[in-house]
Amino acid sequence: MKEIPYKIYLDEKELPKKWYNLRADMKNKPAPLLNPATMKPMTENELEAVFCKELVKQELDDTTAYFDIPDEIVEFYKMYRPSPLIRAYCLEKKLGTPAHIYYKFEGNNTSGSHKLNSAIAQAYYAKKQGLKGVTTETGAGQWGTALSMATAYLGLDCKVYMVKVSYEQKPFRREVMRTYGASVTPSPSMNTNVGRKILEKHPGTSGSLGCAISEAVEDATTHEGYRYVLGSVLNQVLLHQSIIGLEAKTALDKYGVKPDIIIGCAGGGSNLGGLISPFMGQKLRGEADYRFIAVEPASCPSFTRGKFAYDFCDTGMVCPLAKMYTLGSNFIPSANHAGGLRYHGMSSTLSQLYHDGLMEAVSVEQTSVFEAAEYFARTEGILPAPESSHAIRVAIDQALKCKETGENKVILFGLTGTGYFDMVAYEKFHDGQMQDYIPTDADLQQGFDGIPAQPEF
Amino acid sequence: MKEIPYKIYLDEKELPKKWYNLRADMKNKPAPLLNPATMKPMTENELEAVFCKELVKQELDDTTAYFDIPDEIVEFYKMYRPSPLIRAYCLEKKLGTPAHIYYKFEGNNTSGSHKLNSAIAQAYYAKKQGLKGVTTETGAGQWGTALSMATAYLGLDCKVYMVKVSYEQKPFRREVMRTYGASVTPSPSMNTNVGRKILEKHPGTSGSLGCAISEAVEDATTHEGYRYVLGSVLNQVLLHQSIIGLEAKTALDKYGVKPDIIIGCAGGGSNLGGLISPFMGQKLRGEADYRFIAVEPASCPSFTRGKFAYDFCDTGMVCPLAKMYTLGSNFIPSANHAGGLRYHGMSSTLSQLYHDGLMEAVSVEQTSVFEAAEYFARTEGILPAPESSHAIRVAIDQALKCKETGENKVILFGLTGTGYFDMVAYEKFHDGQMQDYIPTDADLQQGFDGIPAQPEF
């Protein structure tokens, strides 16, 4: 067996030329998006009022297994990809585990996360369609940064609605986006009908992804030459993010390594869906078996405590409905610091896989996540984002289990981003002022009450 | 000729196993450090009161060309090195220049800069000597972060004196250092005699590297089991940083590329000295010729307007004196945002090379630096540190000259770090509130008046 380096960098020529569409290999396809007015499946035409044409095609296509990555996007990818697959030798040693731990690190670009993979794709198709610009929401700020980088590169306008709690906790994120020429508005805002309505009802709200989505969609659909783009949840995003898993698999295959457990944090599912895609494809085709674990915050437990139902993707109920694990579009999560994991729903694709028993999910509490984050930073050198640290927590837990049992399992996890803009949260943790929050059943029931009557078709 | 990828990553096995000591090839050696009490060259014994033993050996040795990198340090390097050498295809295209532009990017580690290369070396020798911990100063915060990462990894205590202006402008830097277990004090502070004296004289001072150095040295020499470590200026630091140039040269050689112009920002000289080392070695040995350009801020112009003289390395005059280009140890630079370039002096080695006409220097103004930074961020994707952006400014200027003349020169510059913790400065720039500051001759004269009478020996 070849000696495995600390960091496996693929050659530029090994950069995937096609995205992989996991849905093509799913027996039970994710349920279609519904029009909130008619409760019937959204047509291509209807979706094109909100999304770019090419992206609508990608969104609806659940049979084509591979999509060519346009040359212009490949050129952009070359600025920061292939991303390294890192063998966590130092972490293994410090834990004293016989497990082998690998992580795919997506933080080595200015957006600080994997979000750039889909941002450049979505901006590219908007440009191709001749649009003026795009609108979007951002939670932790990573998607907004990624999109502003992509739009700056292509010369498009970019309007970002940023979840208020993140806007306040991450003032410097706004400046990064401004460096790339984007406009940034804290959400809920007075810019939109939806925002004004929410502020009236919940004046002190710290916002949520669901609410910011509503505002961005309203802004796009009421301004000529704009479309809405989204950094997670959607099938198209999982398609673009498949590049993470494809690269990881190529790198592992080169060294003859097969992971036993694949772990990713899950907010809307963009990173997890991308990371697991080619591996899950093998599992679906009966070619190989893997254990997949989605990790979510205990404060926003869509998979582990949510319902599998058609629900609104946004708080304002202006977006299509998706069938997914959901806490209800009215669920407003506590100010958990992992802003990127505060979404009430989950990717339909991942929801279907989870529902079919092809994937597991666990929820973890904030303080234990930050303990893992600090331990990891001191051991592996990289300061992780709180979101990514959910995966670290469970990877460490699994590695410690291996220590108990003596099994030398191979663990792969997604290190989606860096925590440079999360130092307010780290400060709270250092000062012992971080609290765990687990919603009560009554809290959840409030959210569930907002789930609409389920359509029959 | 082989096609050149966007990013050239050396294989882990190509990681240099030896540091290169540029002084060994210099005909005119840098002048020795002087004892401030006797004004005679510092002995090994005297230096060991302040610095670790092995580091003193490295500091004084100007004849050994190569030093083995200890295995433990190589293992640490593998976590983030080799760093990429990037071909700036997008920048070339946007500028429309026939020049070929390469940059060695040292920002892809949590310290955010090249400083980690020397931090791990210095922490390693402190540990080997059985010390409890180390003290240091930090300007922009990158060296402090780097040192705290290295000491956390090795289990050493770490006390950081941070230049006040940076401490205030970069609150989150402090939290990164805390994440790695360091204690951070804004300088000047009331912790030391030197700090108290300076605060008395200049109550509103925003601090300087020279002052923070004095405090850290005093702290180390008055506490059992501590030594002082320094992130720049010293010969030992240039030795460790030679890894930047060695990797860059190996990468270029692989593709048969020879740079015409090599550019680096210069505060104390750690990055520039490291980047140019192997190339300058060739020049000194008459094997090849290159143009070297040091770039410094117009607000702190040690090379371009300073004097070549023996001077104190620190404001408190507790450190040895070095012969260097200096603005005088009493020179307190304006609150230029490139905190890492606010040092009154310059590496003795680089000073000697500059004095001997082997290297050029230019100074650039802050706003033009930030213009270059934003242009670069939007074009190459990477958000650069203000310090690094000094080199970007001049690299762009040189590339534009090539556009005029039609010459296809090869430009190599050092992109020493990322600007994630510099968003306050970027914000000022975006808001049009950034000002240029050029000291008058009278301002400089004040500093020069503090340069001591020159020794004769």
Task: Please say if the pLDDT value at position A337 is more than 80.
Answer: no
User: A139-143, A392-396, B351-355: lowest mean pLDDT where?
Assistant: A139-143
User: What local confidence, expressed as pLDDT, does residue A2 receive?
Assistant: 79
Residues of A in contact with B380 (CB under 8 A): 79
> Could you say which of B9, B149, B421 has the minimum Cβ distance to residue A381?
B149
User: What local confidence, expressed as pLDDT, does residue A1 receive?
Assistant: 64
User: What local confidence, expressed as pLDDT, does residue A319 receive?
Assistant: 85
Residues of A in contact with B7 (CB under 8 A): 12, 78
In degrees and rounded to multiples of 5, residue B303 shows phi and psi of -70, -50
User: What local confidence, expressed as pLDDT, does residue B209 receive?
Assistant: 79
Residues of B in contact with A6 (CB under 8 A): 12, 78-79
Q: Over A269-283, what HEC string results?
A: CHHHHHHHHHHHHHH
Give the whole-number percent of chain B exceeding pLDDT 90.
85
The three-state secondary structure class of B186 is strand
Task: Please say if the pLDDT value at position A449 is more than 80.
Answer: yes
Q: Model confidence at A335, in pLDDT bands (50, 70, 90)?
A: low
Q: What is the mean pLDDT of residues A170-191?
A: 93
User: What local confidence, expressed as pLDDT, does residue A314 receive?
Assistant: 83
Residues of B in contact with A149 (CB under 8 A): 378, 381
Place of tokens 């040895």: B320
> Could you say which of A79, A175, A430 has the minimum Cβ distance to residue B423?
A175
| Integer Cα distance of B33 and B294 in angstroms | 23
Q: Is A9 on the interface with B (CB under 8 A)?
A: yes
Alpha helices in A285-382 (DSSP H): 302-305, 348-355, 366-380
Tens digits of residue pLDDT in B131-179: 999 999 988 789 999 999 999 999 999 999 998 988 887 788 889 999 9
Q: What is the mean pLDDT of residues B176-185?
A: 95
Give the whole-number percent of chain A exceeding pLDDT 70.
98
> Could you say which of B172, B179, B426 has the minimum Cβ distance to residue A175?
B426
In degrees and rounded to multiples of 5, residue B118 shows phi and psi of -90, -30
The mean pLDDT of chain A is 94
Rounded alpha-carbon distances, angstroms, from residue A87 to A6, A363, A401, B106: 5, 25, 19, 21
User: What local confidence, expressed as pLDDT, does residue A280 receive?
Assistant: 98
User: Distance (Å) from the C-alpha of residue A78 to the closest C-alpha of chain B?
Assistant: 6
For chain A, the farthest-separated pair of C-alpha atoms sits apart, in whole angstroms, at: 63
Determine, for residues B109 and A5 on separate chains, whether the beta-carbon distance falls below 8 Å: no
User: A23-27, B39-43, B164-168, B430-434: lowest mean pLDDT where?
Assistant: B164-168
3-state helix, strand, coil in chain A (%, to 5): 45, 15, 40
User: What local confidence, expressed as pLDDT, does residue B2 receive?
Assistant: 79
> Could you say which of B11, B175, B427 has the minimum Cβ distance to residue A175?
B427
Tens digits of residue pLDDT in A64-112: 999 999 999 999 999 999 999 999 999 999 999 999 999 999 999 999 9
User: What local confidence, expressed as pLDDT, does residue A339 receive?
Assistant: 65
In degrees and rounded to multiples of 5, residue B291 shows phi and psi of -100, 125
User: Distance (Å) from the C-alpha of residue B427 to the closest C-alpha of chain A?
Assistant: 6
Count CB atoms within 10 A of the CB of residue B157.
Answer: 17
User: What local confidence, expressed as pLDDT, does residue B367 receive?
Assistant: 95
Q: Is A407 on the interface with B (CB under 8 A)?
A: no
User: B106-120, B162-176, B290-304, B345-359: lowest mean pLDDT where?
Assistant: B162-176
> Could you say which of B152, B383, B427 has the minimum Cβ distance to residue A110?
B383
User: Distance (Å) from the C-alpha of residue B264 to the closest C-alpha of chain A?
Assistant: 21
- Nearest chain B residue (CA) to A152: B378
Going by the DSSP 8-state scheme, the letter that residue B83 receives in this structure is P
Amino acid identity for residue B244 in this structure = I
Radius of gyration of chain A (CA): 20
> Could you say which of A79, A112, A178 has the minimum Cβ distance to residue B380?
A79
Residues of A in contact with B383 (CB under 8 A): 110, 176, 179
For CATH 3.40.50.1100, the residue range(s) in chain A are 7-14+82-112+241-448, 18-68+115-228
With beta carbons less than 8 A apart as the criterion, state whether B128 and B140 touch.
no
Task: Please say if the pLDDT value at position B339 is more than 70.
Answer: no
Q: Is B383 on the interface with A (CB under 8 A)?
A: yes
User: What local confidence, expressed as pLDDT, does residue A399 receive?
Assistant: 98
Q: What is the mean pLDDT of residues B200-222?
A: 90
- Nearest chain B residue (CA) to A4: B12
| Segment 36-75 of chain A within 8 Å of chain B by CB | none
* H or E element that contains B335: none
| Integer Cα distance of A13 and A392 in angstroms | 30
Q: Is A155 on the interface with B (CB under 8 A)?
A: no
Beta pairing partners, B7: B86
With beta carbons less than 8 A apart as the criterion, state whether A206 and A164 touch.
yes
Domain A18-68+115-228 has CATH 3.40.50.1100: yes
Determine, for residues A423 and B176 on separate chains, whether the beta-carbon distance falls below 8 Å: yes
Task: Please say if the pLDDT value at position B1 is more than 70.
Answer: no
Determine, for residues B427 and A178 on separate chains, whether the beta-carbon distance falls below 8 Å: yes
User: Distance (Å) from the C-alpha of residue A269 to the closest C-alpha of chain B?
Assistant: 25
Task: Please say if the pLDDT value at position A336 is more than 70.
Answer: no
User: Distance (Å) from the C-alpha of residue A89 to the closest C-alpha of chain B?
Assistant: 9
> Could you say which of B5, B180, B427 has the minimum Cβ distance to residue A12?
B5
Task: Please say if the pLDDT value at position B237 is more than 80.
Answer: yes
User: Distance (Å) from the C-alpha of residue B381 to the closest C-alpha of chain A?
Assistant: 6
Residues of A in contact with B108 (CB under 8 A): 108
The Cα angle at residue A107 between residues A106 and A113, in degrees rounded to 5: 80
Tens digits of residue pLDDT in A268-326: 999 999 999 999 999 999 999 999 999 999 999 999 999 999 999 887 788 899 999 99
**Which CATH architecture does the domain made up of A7-14+82-112+241-448 adopt?**
3-Layer(aba) Sandwich (3.40)
| Integer Cα distance of A435 and A364 in angstroms | 13
Rounded alpha-carbon distances, angstroms, from residue A250 to A10, A227, A293, B335, B421: 8, 35, 21, 49, 35
User: What local confidence, expressed as pLDDT, does residue B411 receive?
Assistant: 98
Beta strand residue intervals within A78-120, DSSP E: 85-87, 100-105
Angle at which helices A171-179 and B423-430 cross, to 10°: 50
Residues of B in contact with A175 (CB under 8 A): 423-424, 426-427, 430
Residues of A in contact with B181 (CB under 8 A): 378
Q: What is the ipTM of this complex?
A: 0.92
| Integer Cα distance of A85 and B182 in angstroms | 29
Rounded alpha-carbon distances, angstroms, from residue A406 to A90, A398, A400: 18, 12, 9
Task: Please say if the pLDDT value at position B450 is more than 90.
Answer: yes
User: What local confidence, expressed as pLDDT, does residue A412 receive?
Assistant: 98
Tens digits of residue pLDDT in B31-63: 999 999 999 999 999 999 999 999 999 999 999
> Could you say which of B6, B172, B426 has the minimum Cβ distance to residue A179?
B426
The three-state secondary structure class of A321 is strand
| Integer Cα distance of B161 and B93 in angstroms | 43
Closest CA to A270 of A215, A176, A343: A343
Determine, for residues B383 and A179 on separate chains, whether the beta-carbon distance falls below 8 Å: yes
Rounded alpha-carbon distances, angstroms, from residue B175 to A293, B24, B143, B144, B227: 31, 40, 14, 11, 24
Q: Model confidence at B336, in pLDDT bands (50, 70, 90)?
A: low
For chain B, the farthest-separated pair of C-alpha atoms sits apart, in whole angstroms, at: 64
Q: What is the mean pLDDT of residues B253-260?
A: 97
